[in-house]
Amino acid sequence: MSLTVLFSAPEAYWERYRETLPRAFAEAGLDVTLTRAAAPETVDFIVFAPKGPVSDFGPYSNCRAVLSLWAGVETIVGNATLTQPLCRMVDSGLEEGMVEWVTGHVLRHHLGIDRQILSQDGVWAPVVPPLARDRRVAILGLGALGRACAEALAALRFDVMGWSRTPRDVPGVACQHGAAGLRAVLEAAEIVVLLLPLTPETDTLINAERLDWLPDGAVLINPGRGALIDDDAVLAALDAGRLGHATLDVFRTEPLPPEHPFWAHPKVTVTPHIASETRPESAARVIAENIRRSVAGAPLLFLVDRDQGY
Ligand SMILES: NC(=O)c1ccc[n+]([C@@H]2O[C@H](COP(=O)([O-])OP(=O)(O)OC[C@H]3O[C@@H](n4cnc5c(N)ncnc54)[C@H](OP(=O)(O)O)[C@@H]3O)[C@@H](O)[C@H]2O)c1
Protein backbone atom coordinates (compact mmCIF):
# COMPACT_ATOMS: atom_id res chain seq x y z
CA MET A 1 0.00 0.00 0.00
CA SER A 2 1.35 3.40 -0.99
CA LEU A 3 0.98 6.12 1.67
CA THR A 4 1.23 9.92 1.62
CA VAL A 5 2.77 11.49 4.71
CA LEU A 6 2.55 15.27 5.02
CA PHE A 7 5.40 16.94 6.89
CA SER A 8 3.97 20.00 8.67
CA ALA A 9 6.73 21.66 10.69
CA PRO A 10 8.83 24.82 10.53
CA GLU A 11 11.30 25.07 7.64
CA ALA A 12 14.36 24.24 9.77
CA TYR A 13 12.94 20.82 10.64
CA TRP A 14 12.85 19.71 7.01
CA GLU A 15 16.63 19.51 6.66
CA ARG A 16 16.82 17.25 9.69
CA TYR A 17 13.98 14.91 8.69
CA ARG A 18 13.98 14.84 4.88
CA GLU A 19 16.41 11.91 4.86
CA THR A 20 15.91 10.36 8.30
CA LEU A 21 12.16 9.81 7.88
CA PRO A 22 12.36 8.10 4.45
CA ARG A 23 15.16 5.89 5.80
CA ALA A 24 13.02 4.86 8.79
CA PHE A 25 9.99 4.25 6.52
CA ALA A 26 12.09 1.98 4.29
CA GLU A 27 13.47 0.09 7.30
CA ALA A 28 9.87 -0.47 8.48
CA GLY A 29 8.92 -1.81 5.05
CA LEU A 30 6.57 1.12 4.34
CA ASP A 31 5.97 2.55 0.87
CA VAL A 32 5.69 6.26 1.67
CA THR A 33 5.76 9.52 -0.23
CA LEU A 34 6.95 12.15 2.24
CA THR A 35 5.84 15.59 1.13
CA ARG A 36 5.50 19.15 2.36
CA ALA A 37 2.43 19.85 0.21
CA ALA A 38 -0.42 17.60 -0.92
CA ALA A 39 -4.13 17.80 -1.62
CA PRO A 40 -5.58 17.37 1.91
CA GLU A 41 -7.85 14.43 1.02
CA THR A 42 -4.84 12.42 -0.26
CA VAL A 43 -2.93 12.65 3.04
CA ASP A 44 -2.75 9.46 5.13
CA PHE A 45 -0.69 10.78 8.07
CA ILE A 46 0.60 14.17 9.24
CA VAL A 47 3.98 14.53 10.96
CA PHE A 48 3.51 17.64 13.05
CA ALA A 49 5.47 20.30 14.93
CA PRO A 50 4.07 23.66 16.10
CA LYS A 51 4.42 26.70 13.82
CA GLY A 52 4.27 24.61 10.64
CA PRO A 53 1.80 25.23 7.79
CA VAL A 54 -1.16 23.12 9.01
CA SER A 55 -3.41 24.52 11.71
CA ASP A 56 -6.81 23.49 10.28
CA PHE A 57 -7.04 19.69 10.26
CA GLY A 58 -10.62 19.68 8.96
CA PRO A 59 -9.80 19.15 5.25
CA TYR A 60 -7.57 16.13 6.02
CA SER A 61 -10.57 13.84 5.98
CA ASN A 62 -8.64 10.64 5.21
CA CYS A 63 -5.77 11.31 7.62
CA ARG A 64 -5.47 8.38 10.05
CA ALA A 65 -3.30 10.08 12.68
CA VAL A 66 -1.35 13.22 13.50
CA LEU A 67 2.10 12.28 14.76
CA SER A 68 3.75 14.97 16.88
CA LEU A 69 7.51 15.50 16.83
CA TRP A 70 7.18 17.14 20.24
CA ALA A 71 6.54 15.49 23.60
CA GLY A 72 4.46 18.47 24.78
CA VAL A 73 1.22 18.82 22.82
CA GLU A 74 -0.42 21.76 24.58
CA THR A 75 -0.47 23.88 21.41
CA ILE A 76 -2.44 21.33 19.39
CA VAL A 77 -4.45 19.20 21.82
CA GLY A 78 -7.25 21.78 22.13
CA ASN A 79 -7.50 22.44 18.36
CA ALA A 80 -11.21 21.97 17.59
CA THR A 81 -10.49 20.96 13.98
CA LEU A 82 -8.34 18.04 15.10
CA THR A 83 -10.63 15.00 15.07
CA GLN A 84 -7.90 12.54 14.06
CA PRO A 85 -5.99 10.56 16.71
CA LEU A 86 -2.99 12.52 18.05
CA CYS A 87 0.23 10.80 19.15
CA ARG A 88 2.92 12.61 21.12
CA MET A 89 6.64 11.95 20.81
CA VAL A 90 8.35 9.53 23.14
CA ASP A 91 11.90 9.31 21.88
CA SER A 92 14.91 7.62 23.46
CA GLY A 93 17.18 10.47 22.29
CA LEU A 94 14.90 13.10 23.85
CA GLU A 95 14.86 11.08 27.06
CA GLU A 96 18.67 10.71 27.18
CA GLY A 97 19.15 14.44 26.66
CA MET A 98 16.68 15.31 29.42
CA VAL A 99 18.33 12.88 31.85
CA GLU A 100 21.71 14.52 31.18
CA TRP A 101 20.37 18.08 31.56
CA VAL A 102 18.40 17.35 34.74
CA THR A 103 21.21 15.34 36.32
CA GLY A 104 23.72 18.08 35.53
CA HIS A 105 21.61 20.84 37.06
CA VAL A 106 20.69 18.77 40.12
CA LEU A 107 24.39 17.98 40.69
CA ARG A 108 25.28 21.67 40.29
CA HIS A 109 23.03 22.60 43.19
CA HIS A 110 23.68 19.48 45.25
CA LEU A 111 27.47 19.87 45.11
CA GLY A 112 27.41 23.69 45.40
CA ILE A 113 29.49 23.93 42.24
CA ASP A 114 28.79 27.68 41.92
CA ARG A 115 30.49 28.29 45.27
CA GLN A 116 33.74 26.92 43.87
CA ILE A 117 33.45 28.65 40.49
CA LEU A 118 32.57 32.04 41.95
CA SER A 119 35.07 32.09 44.84
CA GLN A 120 38.51 31.53 43.34
CA ASP A 121 39.77 34.28 45.64
CA GLY A 122 42.56 32.60 47.59
CA VAL A 123 40.32 31.80 50.57
CA TRP A 124 40.50 28.16 51.66
CA ALA A 125 36.96 27.58 52.95
CA PRO A 126 36.01 23.95 52.63
CA VAL A 127 32.30 23.15 52.52
CA VAL A 128 31.85 19.43 51.99
CA PRO A 129 28.54 18.63 50.29
CA PRO A 130 26.33 15.94 51.78
CA LEU A 131 26.09 12.62 50.02
CA ALA A 132 23.36 12.30 47.43
CA ARG A 133 21.59 9.84 49.73
CA ASP A 134 21.00 12.76 52.09
CA ARG A 135 19.61 15.10 49.43
CA ARG A 136 15.87 14.96 48.79
CA VAL A 137 14.94 15.57 45.18
CA ALA A 138 11.35 15.67 43.93
CA ILE A 139 10.38 15.03 40.34
CA LEU A 140 6.89 16.32 39.53
CA GLY A 141 5.71 14.23 36.58
CA LEU A 142 6.64 10.57 36.26
CA GLY A 143 6.00 10.11 32.54
CA ALA A 144 8.54 9.17 29.91
CA LEU A 145 10.94 11.97 30.90
CA GLY A 146 10.26 12.34 34.63
CA ARG A 147 10.54 8.64 35.25
CA ALA A 148 13.87 8.40 33.36
CA CYS A 149 15.26 11.33 35.37
CA ALA A 150 13.99 9.87 38.66
CA GLU A 151 15.64 6.55 37.87
CA ALA A 152 18.94 8.21 36.94
CA LEU A 153 18.98 10.27 40.15
CA ALA A 154 18.04 7.22 42.21
CA ALA A 155 20.93 5.35 40.58
CA LEU A 156 23.21 8.13 41.89
CA ARG A 157 21.62 7.41 45.29
CA PHE A 158 19.67 10.65 45.64
CA ASP A 159 16.69 10.41 47.97
CA VAL A 160 14.14 10.72 45.15
CA MET A 161 10.43 11.40 45.46
CA GLY A 162 8.06 11.45 42.51
CA TRP A 163 4.61 12.85 41.91
CA SER A 164 2.06 12.05 39.23
CA ARG A 165 -1.68 12.28 38.59
CA THR A 166 -2.34 8.55 38.92
CA PRO A 167 -0.42 6.06 41.10
CA ARG A 168 2.99 5.11 39.66
CA ASP A 169 5.60 2.66 40.82
CA VAL A 170 9.24 3.53 40.11
CA PRO A 171 11.86 1.34 41.82
CA GLY A 172 13.94 3.34 44.29
CA VAL A 173 11.58 6.33 44.15
CA ALA A 174 9.02 7.29 46.81
CA CYS A 175 5.96 7.90 44.64
CA GLN A 176 2.99 10.07 45.55
CA HIS A 177 0.06 11.16 43.47
CA GLY A 178 -2.88 13.53 43.39
CA ALA A 179 -3.54 16.69 45.34
CA ALA A 180 -2.75 15.15 48.74
CA GLY A 181 0.59 13.80 47.58
CA LEU A 182 1.79 17.14 46.24
CA ARG A 183 2.03 18.86 49.60
CA ALA A 184 3.93 15.95 51.16
CA VAL A 185 6.42 15.93 48.30
CA LEU A 186 6.96 19.69 48.23
CA GLU A 187 7.34 19.95 52.00
CA ALA A 188 10.26 17.51 51.88
CA ALA A 189 11.97 18.55 48.64
CA GLU A 190 15.30 20.39 48.67
CA ILE A 191 15.44 20.30 44.87
CA VAL A 192 12.25 20.20 42.77
CA VAL A 193 12.25 19.29 39.09
CA LEU A 194 9.13 20.02 37.00
CA LEU A 195 8.54 17.52 34.21
CA LEU A 196 4.79 17.93 33.88
CA PRO A 197 2.86 18.63 30.70
CA LEU A 198 1.01 21.93 30.49
CA THR A 199 -2.71 21.27 30.95
CA PRO A 200 -5.56 23.19 32.58
CA GLU A 201 -4.77 21.24 35.78
CA THR A 202 -1.04 21.96 35.83
CA ASP A 203 -1.20 25.59 34.67
CA THR A 204 0.44 27.74 37.40
CA LEU A 205 0.70 24.70 39.67
CA ILE A 206 3.73 26.26 41.34
CA ASN A 207 2.14 29.36 42.85
CA ALA A 208 2.90 31.39 45.97
CA GLU A 209 1.09 28.99 48.31
CA ARG A 210 2.90 25.91 47.02
CA LEU A 211 6.28 27.66 46.96
CA ASP A 212 5.65 28.29 50.66
CA TRP A 213 5.40 24.55 51.27
CA LEU A 214 9.04 24.06 50.19
CA PRO A 215 11.80 23.99 52.81
CA ASP A 216 13.77 27.26 53.08
CA GLY A 217 16.46 27.55 50.42
CA ALA A 218 14.97 24.90 48.12
CA VAL A 219 15.94 24.95 44.44
CA LEU A 220 13.42 24.91 41.59
CA ILE A 221 14.40 23.40 38.24
CA ASN A 222 11.87 23.76 35.41
CA PRO A 223 12.46 21.97 32.11
CA GLY A 224 8.70 21.26 31.77
CA ARG A 225 6.74 24.28 30.54
CA GLY A 226 6.93 27.96 31.49
CA ALA A 227 3.29 28.29 32.53
CA LEU A 228 3.71 25.61 35.22
CA ILE A 229 5.08 28.38 37.45
CA ASP A 230 3.83 31.79 38.56
CA ASP A 231 6.78 33.99 37.51
CA ASP A 232 6.02 36.74 40.02
CA ALA A 233 5.60 34.27 42.88
CA VAL A 234 8.95 32.65 42.04
CA LEU A 235 10.68 36.05 41.96
CA ALA A 236 9.08 37.02 45.28
CA ALA A 237 10.17 33.75 46.90
CA LEU A 238 13.74 34.25 45.60
CA ASP A 239 13.85 37.85 46.85
CA ALA A 240 12.53 36.80 50.26
CA GLY A 241 15.27 34.17 50.49
CA ARG A 242 12.67 31.43 50.71
CA LEU A 243 13.74 29.92 47.40
CA GLY A 244 17.48 29.39 46.97
CA HIS A 245 17.69 29.34 43.18
CA ALA A 246 15.57 28.79 40.08
CA THR A 247 17.01 27.12 37.00
CA LEU A 248 14.52 27.68 34.19
CA ASP A 249 14.62 26.29 30.65
CA VAL A 250 11.05 27.13 29.56
CA PHE A 251 9.02 30.32 29.78
CA ARG A 252 5.52 31.70 29.25
CA THR A 253 6.89 33.75 26.36
CA GLU A 254 9.72 32.29 24.30
CA PRO A 255 12.23 33.62 23.49
CA LEU A 256 12.26 35.09 27.00
CA PRO A 257 11.98 38.89 26.41
CA PRO A 258 15.22 40.80 27.18
CA GLU A 259 13.42 42.93 29.78
CA HIS A 260 12.12 39.95 31.78
CA PRO A 261 13.48 40.08 35.35
CA PHE A 262 14.58 36.43 35.17
CA TRP A 263 17.53 37.43 32.96
CA ALA A 264 19.16 39.75 35.48
CA HIS A 265 18.20 38.01 38.71
CA PRO A 266 21.30 36.69 40.52
CA LYS A 267 19.43 33.62 41.75
CA VAL A 268 17.97 32.63 38.39
CA THR A 269 19.67 30.59 35.68
CA VAL A 270 18.04 30.90 32.27
CA THR A 271 18.65 28.29 29.60
CA PRO A 272 16.97 28.83 26.21
CA HIS A 273 14.66 25.79 25.95
CA ILE A 274 17.57 23.45 25.32
CA ALA A 275 17.03 20.91 28.11
CA SER A 276 16.43 18.35 25.43
CA GLU A 277 14.98 17.96 22.00
CA THR A 278 13.63 15.26 19.76
CA ARG A 279 16.51 13.50 17.96
CA PRO A 280 15.71 12.82 14.29
CA GLU A 281 17.29 9.33 14.02
CA SER A 282 15.40 7.78 16.94
CA ALA A 283 12.25 9.90 16.48
CA ALA A 284 11.92 8.89 12.82
CA ARG A 285 11.79 5.26 13.91
CA VAL A 286 9.00 6.09 16.38
CA ILE A 287 6.99 7.80 13.61
CA ALA A 288 7.56 4.87 11.24
CA GLU A 289 6.54 2.35 13.89
CA ASN A 290 3.28 4.19 14.53
CA ILE A 291 2.46 4.30 10.81
CA ARG A 292 3.28 0.60 10.53
CA ARG A 293 0.95 -0.11 13.45
CA SER A 294 -1.87 1.96 12.03
CA VAL A 295 -1.63 0.21 8.67
CA ALA A 296 -1.55 -3.19 10.43
CA GLY A 297 -4.60 -2.30 12.55
CA ALA A 298 -2.55 -2.37 15.78
CA PRO A 299 -3.04 0.22 18.56
CA LEU A 300 -1.06 3.43 18.15
CA LEU A 301 1.76 4.17 20.59
CA PHE A 302 1.74 7.30 22.79
CA LEU A 303 -1.83 8.27 21.98
CA VAL A 304 -2.80 11.56 23.62
CA ASP A 305 -5.77 11.48 26.00
CA ARG A 306 -7.69 14.47 24.68
CA ASP A 307 -9.69 14.85 27.90
CA GLN A 308 -6.57 14.96 30.08
CA GLY A 309 -4.66 17.12 27.59
CA TYR A 310 -1.48 15.00 27.47
N1 LIG B 1 12.47 21.69 28.01
C2 LIG B 1 12.53 20.80 27.04
O3 LIG B 1 13.47 20.81 26.25
C4 LIG B 1 11.46 19.75 26.93
C5 LIG B 1 11.62 18.70 26.04
C6 LIG B 1 10.63 17.73 25.97
C7 LIG B 1 9.52 17.80 26.81
N8 LIG B 1 9.39 18.83 27.67
C9 LIG B 1 8.22 18.89 28.58
O10 LIG B 1 8.20 17.74 29.41
C11 LIG B 1 6.85 17.34 29.59
C12 LIG B 1 6.77 15.92 30.09
O13 LIG B 1 7.08 15.01 29.02
P14 LIG B 1 6.81 13.45 29.17
O15 LIG B 1 7.14 12.85 27.86
O16 LIG B 1 7.47 12.91 30.38
O17 LIG B 1 5.23 13.46 29.41
P18 LIG B 1 4.28 12.23 29.85
O19 LIG B 1 4.95 10.94 29.55
O20 LIG B 1 2.95 12.51 29.28
O21 LIG B 1 4.22 12.34 31.43
C22 LIG B 1 3.51 13.33 32.08
C23 LIG B 1 3.58 13.10 33.59
O24 LIG B 1 2.95 14.20 34.24
C25 LIG B 1 1.95 13.69 35.12
N26 LIG B 1 0.82 14.62 35.23
C27 LIG B 1 0.06 15.13 34.24
N28 LIG B 1 -0.93 15.90 34.76
C29 LIG B 1 -0.79 15.85 36.09
C30 LIG B 1 -1.48 16.42 37.18
N31 LIG B 1 -2.56 17.19 37.00
N32 LIG B 1 -1.05 16.15 38.42
C33 LIG B 1 0.01 15.36 38.63
N34 LIG B 1 0.74 14.79 37.65
C35 LIG B 1 0.34 15.03 36.39
C36 LIG B 1 1.49 12.40 34.48
O37 LIG B 1 0.83 11.61 35.46
P38 LIG B 1 0.34 10.11 35.14
O39 LIG B 1 1.62 9.30 35.13
O40 LIG B 1 -0.52 9.77 36.27
O41 LIG B 1 -0.34 10.15 33.80
C42 LIG B 1 2.82 11.82 34.00
O43 LIG B 1 3.49 11.19 35.03
C44 LIG B 1 6.23 17.60 28.22
O45 LIG B 1 4.84 17.70 28.27
C46 LIG B 1 6.89 18.92 27.84
O47 LIG B 1 6.08 19.97 28.32
C48 LIG B 1 10.33 19.81 27.75
pTM of the model: 0.97
CA distance 300 to 124: 59
* pLDDT band at residue 120 under the 50/70/90 scheme: confident
Q: Mean pLDDT across the stretch 182-187?
A: 98
Q: Assign 191 a pLDDT band (cuts: 50, 70, 90).
A: very high
Whole-angstrom CA distances from 66 to 42, 98, 197 are 14, 24, 19
Q: CA-to-CA distance for 308 and 117, rounded, in angstroms?
A: 44
pLDDT at residue number 52 = 97
Rounded Cα distance between 48 and 278, Å, is 12
In this prediction, residue 116 has a pLDDT band, given cuts at 50, 70 and 90, of confident
Domains of the chain: 2-91+278-296 (3.40.50.720), 93-270 (3.40.50.720)
User: 199: CA distance to ligand 1 center in Å?
Assistant: 10
Q: How far is the CA of 243 from the centre of ligand 1 (A)?
A: 23
Q: CA-based angle 87:93:97, to the nearest 5?
A: 115
Provide the pLDDT for residue 248: 99
- Give the mean pLDDT of 231-255: 98
Catalytic annotation on 225? yes
Q: Is the pLDDT of residue 308 over 90?
A: yes
Confidence of residue 283 (pLDDT cuts 50, 70, 90): very high
Pairwise CA distance, residues 15 & 53, whole Å: 16
Ligand 1 centroid distance, CA of 122 (Å): 45
Question: How does strand 243-248 pair with strand 218-222?
Answer: parallel
Residue whose CA is at the smallest distance from ligand 1 atom 42: 143
State yes or no: pLDDT of 258 exceeds 90.
Answer: yes
H/E segment holding residue 222: strand 218-222
Query: Which spans in the chain are helix H?
Result: 11-17, 20-27, 92-111, 113-118, 144-155, 178-188, 208-213, 231-239, 261-264, 280-296
Vertex 263 angle, CA 276 and 12, to 5° = 40
pLDDT-derived band at 119 (thresholds 50, 70, 90) equals confident
Amino acid identity, residue 304?
V
**Model confidence pLDDT, tens digit, residues 47-81:** 999 999 999 999 999 999 999 999 999 999 999 99
